[in-house]
Amino acid sequence: EKKNRLERRLDATTSDDHSKWELETYAWSQETRRILTEIFKLEDFRPMQRSVINVVMSKEDCLVIMSTGSGKSLCYQLPAVLSKGITLVVSPLISLIEDQLIQLKKLGIEAATLNQSTAKDEVTRIQNALTNPNSNLRLLYVTPEKLAKSKRIMNKLEKSTELKLLKLIAIDEVHCCSQWGHDFRPDYQFLNILKRQFKGVPILGLTATATANVLDDVKSILGIQGAITLRAGFNRSNLYYEVREKPPTNEAMLEDLTSLINDRFRDQSGIIYCFSRKECEDLTRDLRNRGVKAAFYHAYLESDQRTKVHEKWLFGKVNVIVATVAFGMGIDKPDVRYVIHHSIAKSMENYYQESGRAGRDGKPAFCILYYKIGDVFRQSTMVCSEKTGTANLYSMLSYTIRVNDCRRVCIAEHFDETWDSSWCNKMCDVCEKSQKFEFSEVDISEFFAEIKKIIIQQRTETDQGRITGGKLVELIGKKFKNTSRVYLEQVVANLILQGFLQEDFHFTPYSIISYIVLGARGKNTSGTEKCTMKVQKVKIGSSRTEQVEAPAKKKAKKVIEDDDIIIL
């Protein structure tokens, strides 16, 4: 049911819905594929390429941000072949232009450039081609300097526009327009006339690096404020991100997983990432006992065994691979419909990489992470000896527990990208639920005061007071009987992230133990510093509250107490 809803959402045609651009149901889609394989001799699109092509073929202005080497050129070269006519490419350097001309020539695509050293008859030939509907010239490359200086070319291009032969203007390294950018080129400012001069011709700007400042600047200089902005890199628009509260018992967890895999994701391919080799093997056994076609994969498997497991999965004999982080390199199965994290990932980078193995085919896919605080304490003992191990884990923890921020915003922040939550298109649990909830900041000083007491009570002659996280949650549970365990875990997690508490690792010959001690902010004896945490509450008037309020008052109140603060 959920999947259908998402698919419908992908089909939606609202202007800020970027997912629709990935579809392969446009009038030109079949021909696009044919050109990709037969002319460009490429097997498949890289992320974002298909979207950009669909946008420019729809005659929309487009701004595309893709990292270097990710294949920006194809985004205008392919439409140039597809739409016949002429594509004007503005590129900053003659050397870059010449590289592309050599490649295009090999592919049998007719392209040319105009610069100071172009021979006279070649100039004439090109100029004629610009207004000849039967010409095979597809791409004309120029530097902005050349364009600014040559009135003749501008005139010809105008004619070409009138004849509807000029199909697209692509501006490579478009950040050069902006003085905010790192390599501003004054000649790029001249490009501001293109939109007015060549009415109706879509403009495609391409760049690898651009901050929000630069992008806004570029759009206003080029006069393409309405351009569809597509960023590759971190955003995978077809992935639905979700964090779930991890069920308290193994049995309940298995039930959850089994119903996901055998019902919602029936006959589809997926991956479950586990914390350890042992967990992989145990979980695989338990899932198999429940009729799930699962197999495990970890670094201790012999290499032929690994190949076998991988192949079974590729051919659908196995639906789900239960794996450690060892499973990843060289995995390129396009139709992975879900990636489940059985416990928290060790870092945001890991999570992004691992969850990113879902939905490579561009169709909707799900990234589900099961969270409970105990897993953080297990993971932390694994990463605490790495230099930035704990910090990395905490950034993942922050992603997991932030209740009022779009998951994509958290990912973007981590990768230093600018991102507006409205671009998520409700493809994460936070955004999807946002209408039902309101957020507030609550004072948790009272909880911290109790926690501080508990920790200090553990004090011995040699120790300043420490307790395992699990025990701590249990003890505060006794003090705050009406507060759910999940809420208390949330309190502890927030106190750790804010530095009121911290983990302290003890190395024994057999293992590492994580204890909770007072953090730098928590030792503050004056006790005046207030601690807060953000929570979400069901909005008054939303259907859920009405249901809750229907029964007798007393009962209703109790239900709300248990239920009104929903953490995940």
Residues engaged in binding ligand ADP (CB under 6 A)? 42, 45-46, 49, 66, 68-74
Which residues, other chains included, contact 478 with Cβ-Cβ below 8 Å and sequence gap of 6+?
none
In 3D space, the residue among 216, 244, 240, 568 whose CA is nearest the CA of residue 425 turns out to be 240
For 20, 140, 426, the CA distances from 14, given in Å and listed in that order, are 9, 34, 13
Q: Quick one: 71 or 374, whose CB is closer to ligand ADP?
A: 71
Please give the single-letter amino acid code of residue 439: F
**CB under 5 to 8 A by kind: which of Zn ion, Mg ion, ligand ADP, none does 428 bind?**
Zn ion
* Minimum distance from residue 233 beta carbon to ligand ADP (Å): 11
Q: Which is nearer to ligand ADP, 98 or 158 (CB)?
A: 98
Residue 198 C-beta: closest distance to Zn ion, Å: 37
Give the list of residues 6+ apart from residue 527 with CB closer than 8 angstroms, or none: 449
Cα–Cα separations (whole angstroms), residue 449 to 276, 452, 498, 526: 36, 5, 15, 12
Nearer to ligand ADP, 73 or 536 (CB): 73
* Interatomic CA distance for residues 232 and 100, integer angstroms: 22
Please, which residue, 32 or 392, has the CB nearer to ligand ADP? 32
74 binds, among ligand ADP, Zn ion, Mg ion, none (CB under 5 to 8 A by kind): ligand ADP
For residue 424, the partner it binds in Mg ion, ligand ADP, Zn ion, none, with Cβ less than 5 to 8 A by kind, is Zn ion
Closest approach of Cβ 376 to Mg ion, in Å? 42
Contacted entry of ligand ADP, Zn ion, Mg ion, none for residue 237, CB cut-off 5 to 8 Å set by kind: none
Which residue lies nearer to Zn ion by CB, 137 or 406?
406
Kindly identify the residues of this chain, within the stretch 48-87, that bind Mg ion according to CB under 5 A.
72
Report the nearest approach of ligand ADP to the CB of residue 231 (Å).
Answer: 13
Query: How many other C-beta atoms lie within 10 A of the C-beta of residue 282?
Result: 15
Question: Which secondary structure element, helix H or strand E, spans residue 64, and what is its range?
Answer: strand 62-65
Query: Which partner in Mg ion, Zn ion, ligand ADP, none is near 42 (CB below 5 to 8 A by kind)?
Result: ligand ADP
Q: Give the whole-angstrom CA distance, residue 220 versus residue 214.
A: 10
Among ligand ADP, Mg ion, Zn ion, none, what binds residue 290 when CB lies within 5 to 8 Å by partner kind? Answer: none
Shortest separation between residue 524's beta carbon and Mg ion, angstroms = 53
Indicate the residue among 53 and 533 with the shorter CB distance to Mg ion: 53
Instruction: Give the tokens for residue 310.
Output: 């991988």
Q: Which is nearer to ligand ADP, 70 or 115 (CB)?
A: 70
69 interface partner picked from Mg ion, Zn ion, ligand ADP, none, CB below 5 to 8 A per type: ligand ADP
Is residue 261 exposed (0-12), middle (13-18) or buried (19+ Cβ within 10 Å)? buried
Tokens 């080029």, located at residue: 222
Q: Which is nearer to Zn ion, 229 or 319 (CB)?
A: 229
**Binders of Zn ion in range 406-465 (CB under 5 A):** 406, 408, 424, 428, 431
Q: How far is the CB of 81 from ligand ADP (least distance, A)?
A: 14
Shortest separation between residue 3's beta carbon and ligand ADP, angstroms: 27
In a 10 Å sphere around its CB, with 0-12 CB exposed, 13-18 middle and 19+ buried, how is residue 170 labelled?
buried
Least separation in angstroms between residue 35's CB and ligand ADP is 12
The residue (of 42 and 497) whose beta carbon lies closer to ligand ADP is 42
Tokens of 182: 């790192």
Q: Which residue has the tokens 């671009």?
A: 423
Tell me how far, at minimum, the Cβ of 425 lies from ligand ADP, in Å.
25
Per DSSP, helices labelled H in 211-357 are: 212-222, 250-259, 277-289, 303-314, 348-355
Question: Which is nearer to Zn ion, 19 or 161 (by Cβ)?
Answer: 19
Residue 269 interacts, among Zn ion, Mg ion, ligand ADP, none and using kind-specific CB cut-offs from 5 to 8 Å, with none
The CB-of-424 to Zn ion minimum distance in angstroms stands at: 3
Q: Which of 64, 65, 78 is nearest to 109 (CA)?
A: 78
DSSP 485-523: HHHHHHHHHHHHHTTSEEEEEEE-SS-EEEEEEE-TTT-
Amino acid present at 251: E
For ligand ADP, the closer of residues 71 and 247 by Cβ is 71
Provide CB contacts within 8 A for 36, sequence distance 6+.
42, 44, 45, 78
| Short-list 218, 225, 145, CA closest to 186 | 145
Residue 168 CB, shortest distance to ligand ADP, in Å, is 16
Which residue's Cβ has the minimum distance to ligand ADP? Answer: 71
Instruction: From the list Mg ion, Zn ion, ligand ADP, none, pick the one residue 431 interacts with, judged by a Cβ distance below 5 to 8 Å according to partner type.
Output: Zn ion
Runs of H (alpha helix) within 231-333:
250-259, 277-289, 303-314
Of the chain, the end-to-end C-alpha distance in Å amounts to 21
- Binding residues for Mg ion, total number by CB under 5 A: 1
Q: Which is nearer to ligand ADP, 42 or 384 (CB)?
A: 42
Q: How far is the CB of 46 from ligand ADP (least distance, A)?
A: 4
Number of residues that bind Zn ion (CB under 5 A): 5
Residues that bind Mg ion (CB under 5 A): 72
Residues that bind Zn ion (CB under 5 A): 406, 408, 424, 428, 431
